[in-house]
Chain A
Amino acid sequence: MWVYVARRLLLAVPIALGVTVICFGLVFLAPGDPLASLIPGDVSPADLAKMRQLYGFDKPIPVQYALWLGRAVTGDLGVSLQTGRPVLAEVTGAIGNTFVIASGAVLLAFSLAFILGTVAAYHVGRPADRLATAAAVLGVSIPNYWLGIVLIIVFAVKLNILPATGMGSKGSTSFNILDWAQAKYAVLPIITMAMVPLGIIMRTTRSAVAEVLNQDFVQMLRAKGLGPVAILRHSVRNALPQMLAVMGLQLGYLVGGSILIETVFTWPGTGFLLNKAILTRDIPVIQGTILVLALNFVAINLAVDLIQTAVDPRIKRT
C-alpha cells in the first residue's frame, strides 16, 4: 500500500504543475493588468514602466513563471501584490477557515443524505422515495447565494437569533468552534453550503443502497432470517465505498471554497481570498491558492481511497 501512496503523491507533482501552468496562462490571457489595481489612472508611461520593472512584470511570461516556480519549490509562494503579506500564510489561513464550514457542511450533508438516501432506497418508487428525491433535487437546484441571503433575512434580520456575517465577534483568529458564541457564526454558512452535497450524496446513497438490496446475498440474508437492521448494516457497508468516494470529492470541492457563499457571509475562506485575488489580478495569491488547493484535492482523494480500502478490504491498492 505504501507504494500506492508514494505513486499517488508523485502523480500530484505533474497535476500541480499542469494546474499552475494553465492558471498562470489564463491570468495573462484574461483582459486586465495586475498593475491596474496598484496605480491611479493617470500615471505616465514612464512611471508605469518603472512599476512594471519593480514588480517584475517586465520579464517575458515564461520567465516570470519559471521564477515563481523556482521559489515555489522551496516553499516560498511569494507575497501578495495587494497586501504584501506572504501568500503561504494567506492561503493556509483561508483554507483553515473554509475547512470549518466545508467539513461542517459535508458532515451535515452526509448525515442527512444517508438517512434520506437509505429511506428512499428501501422504498423505491413509493412516496417516501419521491419526497427524498425531491429534497435532493431541490438541494442541488437552489442557487446557494440566494439561499444564503434568505437565511440571513430570516435568522439574522427577522428572528435575530444568528449573526448575518463574519467569522466570530472578533474575527477568525479568536474563532472557537466549541464556543457557541463564536460557533453560531458558522451555522448559516454551513447550512447553505450543505445543500448541494446533500443532494449529490443522497442520490448516490439511494442508488448504491438500492443496488445492494437487489443483490443475491441480500436475498440469502433474508432467507437466513436476518432482521431489517442487520440487513441494513450489510447493505450500507457494501454501499459505503461509493458514498465515501462522493463525500471525499465533495469535501475536496468545498475546501476550494465557494466564492458566492463566502462573499455573502463575508467568511474569510479560500473562495473569498481567490475572488479578491482574481478581481485585482493578484497573481502570486491566485497561483499560490490554486497550487495549494490542487494539492489539497489530491490529498483528500488519497485519504478517501485509503479509507475505502480500510472499509472494504476487497478493494486492493497496489
Chain B
Amino acid sequence: MFGRRPQSAAAIATLSLAIGLSALPGGASRAETVLRIAMTAADLPDWRGQPDQGFEGYRFVGYSLYDGIVAWDLSRSDQEAGIRPGLATSWSVDPDDHKKWIFELRQGVKFHDGCDWNADSAVWNIDRMISDKNPAFTPYNFGRGRSRTSSIDHAEKLGDYKIAIYTRHPESLFPFNLAYVLMLSKCAVEKAGNNLDVYAKNPVGTGPYKFASTVPHERVEFVKNSDYWDKGRVPKHDRVVLLPMPEVTTRVAALLSGQVDLIEAPSPDTIPALKAAGMQIVTNVYPHTWPYLLNMAKGPFRDVRVRQAANYAINRGEMVELLSGVAVPSYGMFVPEQARYYGHPFEYPFDPKKSIELLKEANCYPCEIFVAISTSGSGQMQPLPMNELVKEQLEKGGFKVKFDTLDWNAVLDVFIKGQEKFPYDAINFSSGANDPLSGFLKAVMSEYKAPVGSNWGWYSNPEVDAIAYKLLASFDPAVYEPMLRQLHEMVSRDARSLFIVSDLNPRALSPRLHGFVQAQSWFQDITPITISQ
C-alpha cells in the first residue's frame, strides 16, 4: 500500500527534527535531538501519577517521568524482564512478621524540582494511593493503582532511608506490585495545594525525563534529565515528543513521511512496505497472550472436554500466518520465555477430529457458544479478522459460534463484572501476565472469582488453590517458582482458557534511530536510543 518515499523526504524530515539549537559547553552548538513517537492511544496518557491508556501509558509517560520503589529490568532483549531495585536498593520480608516488608531506599536521589527522595516521600506516596484521608488522594490514582495496592495495609518510616510496608496478609510476590506504583514529588504536589490538576501543569518525578510542555490531547514533550540517578539510563537524546495516533494507517504514513521516528504496533499488512522503505521492524516475545476466557460456571465450557475440544480445534499456525508472522502459538497464560513460571504446559495440537470426538463425548455436538468480542482495545491485536478465523476453525471442530461484537469499554465492563451478569460462554480478552501475582494467580484462584478479582470465568480447582496459598506464604523463589510452574501446567491441562497466540509486539523505527533494545515486556526503555542527523 505504501511505497518508498523520495530521498528528499528524509532531508525534509531531518530538518523538521532540528527544532532549535542548544549551546554546548565548549561554545560549539549542535542540533537538539528529538525522538517523536506515535502511540496507539487515542489520547495522551495521564501524568498526574498512575497513567491511564493501559500499559502504553506506563511505557511512555509513567516510567519516563517517574520511578517506582521497584523497577523493571528492561535492559535486555534475550530474557524475561523481571524486577530490579528502583528507588529502593533492596527489600526483604521481616522473618518474624511475614506481613511486614522492609525497604532500604536509595540515597542521593533528587526529584526534578530538587527535593530529596527519602522515607517521608515514600510513605506519603503509599499513603496517598490508599487513604482518602491523605490530602493528595484522588479517585483516579486510587482506582488505577488499586489492583497493585489492595493488599497494602499501611506504610511506616523506619529511618531517613528505610521504610516498612505492611500487607493485609502474607504475600510472597508482593514486591512485583510496587513496580507499578509511581513516586511523585511531595514538594511539588504540596506546592500545587495538593490539587493534582494544578500539579499536572508541572509534574515532578525522579524519572529519566523531565516534563517540558503539552498541547492537551495532541502532544506532550519531555526533556532529558541529565542528573538522573541511574547514570546508565540518562537519555541519549535531548527530547521526546509523544503523539497519540490511534489510526494505524495514519501512524504508518506519519513514519513514512518523516513526521515521526517510531511507531507502535504497525499492522502486519503494512510491515512489508515499511521494510521496503528502509524502516527497522523490531519484534520480541513478551507476556501478552490473546486467548478466549471460558465461562466455567455455566454453559458448555463447564465440561473440561468441551474446553479441551476448543483447544484442539484451533490451528495456531494459520493464525500466525494471518498475522504475517508477528505472533507465536500460545498454550498457556505465560509465554515460554518466562521460564521461571512456564513449565511444560500441554501443547494442544491442531486436531479438529479429536475436537469433534470430545464434543460428542460431552453431548455437545454441534456445541453452540456465545462469545463477546471487541472491535478494538488495548492488547486486542487485530480482533475482527482474528476472531473471524477463530470462529471458522472452531466451527470446523464441531462448535457453532455466535459473536456479540462490543466496543472496548463494554468488554472491559463484562470482564470486571465477571461471567455471572452476562450470557456469554466466553470473552476474547487479551492478557498480560507481567508478573505471576496479578497476571496469573489472581486469574486462577477461586478467591479471585470476578467481580472480586480477575478470574472472569470462575475457574476453580481446589488443588490449584491449595498450592497457590502455599506459594504465597513461601518467600524463597527456589520454593515458590517450581510451584508456579506446576500450577501453570495444571491450568493448561484444565484448559482454563482457549489458548490461541501471543503477540510479538512489532514496532517500526526510522533508520536514523539506533540503540533500541526491545525488552520482553509491555514496558520499554527508550533512553538508549540515539538519533543520527
Contacts and interface: CB of A to CB of B under 8 A. Distances in A.
Interface of A: 30-33, 35-45, 47-48, 50-51, 54-55, 79, 82-85, 90, 93, 149, 152-153, 156-160, 163-167, 169-173, 263-266, 268, 272-273, 275-276, 279-281
Interface in B247-284: 247, 249-250, 253-254, 256-259
Contact of B249 (A36, A84, A149, A276): A149
A160 B253 contact: no
A38 B258 contact: no
Contacts of B448: 42
Contacts of A38: 52, 139-140, 143-144
A42 B3 contact: no
Contact of A265 (B139, B150, B250, B410): B250
A31 B413 contact: yes
A42 B250 contact: no
Interface string B128-141: 00001000000110
Given A84-B48, A84-B196, A153-B1, 4 more contacts: A156-B257, A160-B257, A171-B219, A280-B409
B143 A164 contact: no
Contacts of A93: 216
A39 B48 contact: no
Interface stretch (B90-98, B326-334, B449-457, B503-511): B449-457
Contacts of A43: 143, 146-147, 150, 416
B213 to A, nearest CB: 9
A173 B215 contact: yes
Contacts of B256: 156-157
Contacts of B406: 31-32
B4 to A, nearest CB: 9
Nearest to A43: B146
A37 B143 CA distance: 10
Interface in B103-142: 132, 139-140, 142
A273 B410 contact: no
B17 to A, nearest CB: 11
Given A153-B2, A165-B245, A268 B217 contact: yes
Contacts of A37: 52, 409, 412
A83 B216 contact: yes
Interface stretch (B8-16, B64-72, B156-164, B359-367): B8-16
B25 interface: no
Contacts of B529: none
A85 B197 contact: yes
B408 interface: yes
B171 to A, nearest CB: 14
User: Among B12, B244, B257, B407, which residue has the most Cβ atoms of chain A within 10 A?
Assistant: B257
A67 B442 CA distance: 38
B381 to A, nearest CB: 18
Interface in B295-334: none
Given A83-B216, A160-B257, A171-B215, A41 B9 contact: no
B462 interface: no
A265 B250 CA distance: 7
Interface in B1-31: 1-3, 5-6, 8-9, 12, 16
Contact of A160 (B9, B196, B246, B451): B9
Given A149-B249, A172-B215, A40 B5 contact: no
B413 A33 contact: yes
A201 to B, nearest CB: 28
B479 interface: no
B257 A164 contact: yes
Nearest to A175: B215
Contacts of B146: 39-40, 43, 47
B458 interface: no
B166 interface: no
Interface in B433-456: 438, 442, 448, 450-454, 456
Nearest to B197: A84
B190 interface: no
20 contacts: A41-B454, A42-B438, A47-B146, A55-B139, A79-B197, A82-B43, A83-B43, A84-B46, A84-B48, A152-B253, A160-B6, A166-B259, A171-B219, A264-B247, A264-B250, A266-B243, A266-B244, A272-B217, A275-B42, A279-B408
A149 to B, nearest CB: 5
B257 A39 contact: no
Given A84-B48, A266-B244, A152 B250 contact: yes
Contacts of A281: 409
A51 B414 CA distance: 17
Given A37-B52, A172-B218, A158 B5 contact: yes
B1 A84 contact: no
A279 B218 contact: no
Given A36-B416, A166-B259, A268 B218 contact: yes
Nearest to B442: A42
Given A160-B8, A281-B409, A166 B218 contact: yes
A39 B250 contact: no
A127 B103 CA distance: 83
B200 A84 contact: yes
A143 to B, nearest CB: 13
